[in-house]
Structure 1
Amino acid sequence: MTPDMTTSALASDSRSISSICSDLHHVSAQLLELRRAHPELATAATGKRDENGMDIDQENTRAAKTTNPALLKQFLEGVRKGRLLLTLLKVANRNALQHERNLRNDLTDQKLSVGKVDLGYQNIKYQRKYLLNEIARCHDMETFYQDVPLVPLEQFHQSAPEELRNATDERQLMINRLQFELEERKRFDAEKRRLLAVKVQLTKANKARKAQITKIENQLESYIESSQSIQDLFQEPMVPIQTHQELLEKLAAAAAAAAAPAPEAAAAETATTVEAGSDETSNLANGETAVDSGSQQSAQMEMDVETNSASTKSRISSKERMPRDDDEDIVL
């Protein structure tokens, strides 16, 4: 039952009860006046009823019938009407009590419903408080992406694609920056793998070249050891070779010194000396020719040794410039 229906029912019951009470009061007043005016019309309490269902005293009724039938009829009508109004008043009282009981039941139901609503409201408040606490925890929670080093925002706006730069929301902007960082790291990782493959190839080439240079060094060392005996020959002291002009000057000086004591003896001696000098000169010329040929051979050998030494030094210097095994890090 709704509150509007309850209010209307209470108003109708109150009007009916008030009208019944007023009618009953009016009938009681009429009956009281009739009793005062006609004392013989007093009703009996014997419990007997007439044809209208009213309890009356048979003797008084006989006396009333014998005295004034119209007055008796009016009195009985008033009694009947009063009893009817009293019955209606009892019915209204019963209805009021039932209505009160229904109102109490409805009030209990309303209280239960209000209690349920209040319990739901408390649950909603608790859920709201819990969600607010969770949101605060999420805001305060430190995530791993906050520690990820990202490119600066200016560089992001310069290098990122157009669809990633147009984000206006801070959250979407952060997601776009993380996505751009992931793509850049994938690209750098692929480039790193390519460079590592190049490094492996260069390392293999360096090892092959090192083996080749080691082989050449071993050959050069064996060649140098084999040429050590020739180098010992070149280290011996060399006698300076006199030229033909120097020999002639020396002979002329000796002849001039011998010609001073006796001209004839000096002339003979000079002639002998000249002949001996000519012989010696011829011998020296022959020796000079032999020495020249030997010196040419020696010079040729020296040139060969110097050439071999220069090539050895150049190869050793190129070896020193070549990377070793411990120089694994190649700058690309």
Structure 2
Amino acid sequence: MNKSEFYEFFKKIPKAELHIHIEAVMSRDTIKKLYLKKNGAEFSDSEIKELFSYSDLNGFIAAFLKVQDLFTEVSDFDLIFDDLKNYLVRNGVAHCEAFFAPSAFIKKGFSYAEMTKNFEKNLKKIKKETGITVWLLGDVSRTFGLENAESNYKMFKENPFEGFIGIGLGGAEAKGPSKDFGPVFKKALADKYHAVAHAGEDVGPESIWDALRICNAERIGHGITSVQDADLLKYLAEKQIPIEVAPTSNVFTKKYVKKMEEHPVREMFDKGLSVTIATDDPIFFGVELLDEYWNLYTKLKFSKNELKQIILNGFEDSFLPVKEKTDFKNLVEANWK
């Protein structure tokens, strides 16, 4: 298939995206609007280019925090959810489980209760306008330590909203080791919330082991350093623990992957891991979900049927009820024909 045929075909196949941050789906137009509103001045293209210039994970996180700092009031999230809706439609995503990171906003003085009202309103709006379901995972954030993570979880628990399904552990992996956050994961899982963790993105396979053994994470975000540990690969394959892989993100941060053709997702898939594909932070890495499938097809030699299996994995590895998983997978098969 040539590129236009590929994009046209795969857009029509319903997909689930399980690893994406809502603040990172915003358009450059939204960034300009927020900058103008906050600073009373235009944000030039050269300044935006500089904002998105970084060479490692810590540089990306710094840019992410700068974007969050552009928000001045809770209603600014309306722009983010509009961008998210447009992104999901463009890429043929039928179900999305996305992260939001409240720590920076709480530090700015935002009311979390007001944020949840905005989130719930916008999730319902997306569902009504497009039929797409979006569920949210709150990032307890390893960047600010365990005490902040537990504070975030307490806030989540005390302010539930329709569409909130659990917690994620994101942020600077080397600064906040997975093993430090077992207590907050234990609380969330005991309260019947879902719990997932970024691990093996910027640290070796020991981070993944800790996320599984200490945090009991239900899914692993990135997980690319699993290929450094044969026992871990075997364990992940046998247990069919979902791995949310974001190829361009891993190339961009350049810690373990220097170019797409060397990305370990090919080995992970071939070893029987339950791999899903996601974008992580589209605006920061200049990539959308259809682009990632095209990368796998052209640079990592995934066949169309292998890509279909990854799409099916996305629904199977979601937190949807069993019947809805089955319905979506049947829809994939029907549209494929």
- What TM-score bracket applies, with the shorter chain setting the length? under 0.3
Structure with greater helix share of residues? 1
**TM-score, scaled to structure 1:** 0.15
Structure with the larger strand share: 2
Tell me the TM-score normalized by structure 2: 0.15
1 or 2 for the larger relative contact order (CA 8 Å, sep ≥6)?
Answer: 2
Larger Rg over CA atoms: 1
